[in-house]
Amino acid sequence: MNPTQLVKRELLDPRPENEAGLRPIAGAVNIPFAELSARLHELPPKSEIIQVVGPPDLATTVVEWLTQHGRVARVVAGQAEATADTSPVRSEARANEVGRLWEPSAFLEEVAGQLRLCAGESPGAPGSALDLACGSGRNAVFLACCGWKVTAVDILPDALDLGRELERLYARGWHAVKWICADIHTANAGGTPQPNEYAGGTPWPQQVLPERMGPQQLGWRPDEQFDLVTMFRYLDRGLVRQLPDWVKPGGSIVLETFTTEHRQRHGRPARAAHVLRPGELRELFAPVLSRMRLRHYSEGWRGAEHTARLWVQCSAPGN
- CATH numeric code, 106-314: 3.40.50.150
Judge whether residue 200 has pLDDT over 80: no
Least confident of 60-74, 127-141, 176-190: 176-190
- CA distances (Å), origin 206, targets 186, 196, 202, 247, 268: 10, 12, 11, 28, 19
CA distance 133 to 242: 15
Tens of pLDDT along 5-32? 899 999 999 999 999 999 999 999 999 9
Q: What is the pLDDT of residue 173?
A: 87
Higher-pLDDT residue of 12 and 120 is: 12
Q: What is the pLDDT of residue 266?
A: 94
The angle formed by the CA atoms of residues 173, 174 and 176, to the nearest 5 degrees, is: 110
Q: What is the pLDDT of residue 308?
A: 97
Spatial strand order of the sheet with 292-302 comes to: 178-181, 149-154, 128-132, 226-232, 247-258, 305-314, 292-302
Q: Kindly list the domain boundaries of the chain, sorted by start residue.
A: 5-100, 106-314
Q: What is the pLDDT of residue 214?
A: 45
Query: Dihedral sign, CA of 199, 195, 186, 103?
Result: positive
Q: Could you give the 3-state DSSP secondary structure of residue 60?
A: helix
Q: Is the peptide bond prior to 269 cis by the omega test (within 30 degrees of 0)?
A: yes
Count of all residues that appear for the chain in the document: 319
* Residue percentage of the chain with pLDDT more than 70: 80
pLDDT band at 207 (very low <50, low <70, confident <90, very high): very low
pTM of the model: 0.84
CA distance 272 to 176: 37
Looking at domain 5-100, its CATH class is: alpha beta
Q: How many CA atoms lie within 13 A of 128 on its CB side?
A: 12
CA distance 58 to 40: 18
Calculate mean pLDDT across residues 180-186: 84
Least confident of 31-40, 73-82, 240-249: 73-82
Query: Dihedral sign, CA of 105, 110, 113, 115?
Result: negative
Judge whether residue 46 has pLDDT over 50: yes
Calculate mean pLDDT across residues 132-149: 96
